[in-house]
Amino acid sequence: MIDQPGMEYPGVVTSGNIYNSTVSDESLHRLVVHEIAHQWFYGMISNDPYHEAWLDEGFTEFATSFYLFSKSKDDIPYKTMYKQFENLTPLPVNLPLDQYGHNSSSYVYGKSSVMLWKLVEHRGGKKAAGKFLMNYYKEYNYKEVDTDEFIRFAKYYLHFKNNKAFNDWLAFQ
């Protein structure tokens, strides 16, 4: 789910009314892609949606932007993406939803998906993101993940020797 009226269910997604919509075509397109991406990240790979909402919303946003970037020839706007979080209180993205006040979306959707991009930035950008998503899906479909498991996977898959790449944005349990 994102702020605009969309929702995911197994095999079905809903979006706000496309008629008389106050939402732009571009936002509506993004919303539909987001809800469809949940069929994998939530539908096929499960997680605790309250205590670790970032695992489905962050991955869904990551997959949504991967899809949109893949259709474009432009470079990934890393600098613009990172700038969005410069003034945000530096909280981890994997806190329970009640610990963010009214600003949970900036963390569990926004910052988390950007940090996933950051993990693959120097490993090949778009191409690396696609492979990362595919392998994550192959490893965890029909399973439940938590942050610790994600870190284990990402460290192994992306060859990180320590937890440095995760310290800025994930709280360790």
Binding interface with Zn ion (CB under 5 A): 1, 57
Q: What are the residues whose beta carbons fall under 8 Å from the beta carbon of 103, sequence distance 6 or more?
A: 88
CB of 61 to Zn ion, least distance (A): 8
CB of 160 to Zn ion, least distance (A): 27
CB of 6 to Zn ion, least distance (A): 7
Amino acid identity of residue 91, one-letter, is L
- Cβ-closest position to Zn ion: 1
Q: Which is nearer to Zn ion, 57 or 117 (CB)?
A: 57
Q: In the chain, how many H helices and how many E strands?
A: 8, 4
Amino acid identity of residue 18, one-letter, is I
Q: Which is nearer to Zn ion, 14 or 21 (CB)?
A: 14
- Rounded to the nearest 5°, which phi and psi values hold at 154? -65, -40
CB of 38 to Zn ion, least distance (A): 6
**Length of the chain as a residue count:** 173
C-alpha 52/C-alpha 92 separation (Å) is 11
Q: Which is nearer to Zn ion, 23 or 128 (CB)?
A: 23
Q: Which is nearer to Zn ion, 68 or 83 (CB)?
A: 68
